[in-house]
């Protein structure tokens, strides 16, 4: 993917905007990352404050992630945090990015999200993932009855649709996901492309989690667009992509903020070390070894970073190459002001219809 971005080798980008306002939606996925020396309570408070800011800036949706046995992430149960965020905002859609379906019964997921939809009608999203959001040992503790075979995911998605349409049956009769309401959450399948046909079959949105694993080609999107069947929540196909997006007033600051994130993921991927976000001062002193540099080179396509002009240029390439309708941006920072500034700058690159006055 990194080959899509030719470089003149200068590393210098103009502060004068040279690119048009991007013609797609912009949203946020937040992992409620805990900084070094910080607490989960602080991280959760900042997530809610960030959602309020996103609401005022015109972001389309605000998603919460599901992770387990990761001490530096404050959100293990997005279905609870969704309610708090929706209560604290006015117009922005709020949802999961995503609920890891192998960890849960389809009935329980339907009940949780019907209740949320009843409380905040027309504002709830249900992103569905096939992974566990944790290591295999923790995954088995979460759901000992699930063998986590890939083939089980389509069946669980089908079960979920039956509960949302009040069509679930047992030998003794129907089973209702309560409360019964007239609307359903907007559902998305989070996949690199392997389950694109599943999203198309049920008329769900397709979200490409590029920040987890790079999407190498456009075959999944093309199949999804071709096979899509309209549904009550999606009359037309819709494709989003999740990316690390780091936007700063200078290229140097953006590089340093990106390095903070990279330190965390190098530790997790190469050493199984779950560490909180370091400060920019710590990151500035940190030196990656040769193995780590090689890993980061392979991972570089997951990040879009720089000044607004540079970010706009790269996001436009992603939009065009993958035929995207929406970007789901993820950004983490030790300093909450840096995180807010990044999202403020990013919002300025998109046309918004729903920003609060």
pLDDT at 184: 94
**Rounded to an integer, what distance in angstroms lies between the CA atom of residue 215 and that of residue 209?**
8
Q: How many angstroms separate the Cα of 41 from the Cα of each of 47, 65, 75, 343?
A: 10, 16, 10, 22
**Rounded to an integer, what distance in angstroms lies between the CA atom of residue 263 and that of residue 1?**
21
**Rounded to an integer, what distance in angstroms lies between the CA atom of residue 292 and that of residue 303?**
16
DSSP tag of 353? S
φ and ψ of 144, to 5 deg: -60, -25
ω into 98 cis (within 30 of 0): yes
Element (H, E) at 68: none
Q: 226, 161, 221: which is closest to 196 by C-alpha? A: 221
Strands (DSSP E) contained in 200-291 are 205-208, 239-247
**Rounded to an integer, what distance in angstroms lies between the CA atom of residue 316 and that of residue 266?**
28
pLDDT at 14: 39
Angle at 323 between CA 27 and CA 196, to 5 degrees: 85
Per the CB < 8 A criterion, the answer to whether 112 and 79 are in contact is yes
Show the tokens assigned to 138.
Answer: 């923790």
pLDDT at 146: 73
**Rounded to an integer, what distance in angstroms lies between the CA atom of residue 245 and that of residue 327?**
9
pLDDT at 357: 46
Tens of pLDDT along the chain (357 residues) come to 544 654 443 333 334 444 457 899 999 999 999 998 999 999 999 999 999 999 999 999 999 999 999 888 998 999 999 999 999 999 999 999 999 999 999 999 999 999 999 999 999 999 999 987 788 888 888 888 877 676 689 999 999 999 999 999 998 999 999 999 999 999 999 998 889 999 999 999 999 999 988 999 999 999 999 999 999 999 999 999 999 999 999 999 999 999 999 999 999 999 988 888 999 999 999 999 999 999 999 999 999 999 999 999 999 999 999 999 999 999 999 999 999 999 999 999 997 665 554
Work out the burial of residue 211: count CB atoms within 10 Å of its CB; fewer than 13 is exposed, 13-18 middle, 19 or more buried. Answer: buried
pLDDT at 10: 37
Work out the burial of residue 113: count CB atoms within 10 Å of its CB; fewer than 13 is exposed, 13-18 middle, 19 or more buried. Answer: buried
Q: 99, 221, 213, 105: which is closest to 160 by C-alpha? A: 105
* Domains assigned to the chain: 21-252+302-347 (3.20.20.30)
* Three-class secondary structure of residue 111 per DSSP: helix
């Amino acid at each position: 993917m990194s080959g899509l971005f030719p470089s003149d080798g200068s590393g210098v980008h103009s502060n004068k905007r040279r690119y048009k306002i991007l013609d797609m939606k912009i949203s946020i996925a937040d992992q409620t990352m805990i900084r070094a020396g910080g607490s989960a309570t602080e991280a959760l408070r900042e997530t809610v404050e960030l959602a309020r800011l996103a609401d005022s800036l015109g972001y389309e949706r605000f998603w919460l992630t599901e992770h387990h046995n990761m001490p530096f992430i404050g959100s293990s149960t997005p279905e609870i945090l969704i309610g708090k965020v929706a209560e604290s905002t006015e117009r922005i859609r709020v949802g999961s990015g995503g609920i890891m379906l192998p960890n849960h019964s389809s009935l329980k997921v339907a009940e949780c999200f019907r209740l949320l939809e009843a409380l905040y009608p027309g504002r709830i999203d249900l992103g569905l993932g096939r992974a566990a959001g944790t290591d295999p040992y923790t995954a088995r503790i979460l759901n000992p009855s699930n063998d986590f075979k890939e083939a089980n995911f389509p069946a669980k998605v089908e079960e979920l649709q039956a509960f949302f349409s009040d069509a679930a049956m047992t030998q003794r009769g129907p089973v209702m996901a309560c409360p019964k309401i007239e609307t359903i959450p907007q559902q998305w399948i989070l996949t690199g492309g392997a389950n694109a046909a599943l999203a198309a079959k049920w008329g769900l949105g397709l979200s490409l989690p590029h920040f987890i694993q790079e999407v190498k080609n456009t075959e999944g999107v093309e199949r999804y667009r071709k096979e899509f069947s309209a549904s009550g929540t999606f009359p037309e196909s819709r494709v989003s992509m999740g990316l690390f997006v780091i936007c700063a007033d200078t290229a140097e600051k953006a590089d340093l903020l990106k390095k903070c994130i990279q330190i965390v993921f190098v530790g997790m991927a190469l050493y199984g070390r779950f560490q909180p976000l370091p400060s920019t001062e710590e990151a500035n002193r940190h030196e990656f070894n040769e193995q780590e540099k090689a890993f980061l080179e392979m991972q570089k396509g997951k990040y879009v970073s720089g000044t607004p002009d540079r970010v706009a240029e790269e996001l436009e390439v992603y939009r065009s190459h993958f035929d995207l309708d929406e970007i789901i941006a993820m950004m983490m920072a030790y300093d909450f002001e840096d995180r807010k500034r990044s999202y403020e700058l990013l919002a300025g690159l998109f046309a918004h219809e729903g920003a609060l006055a």
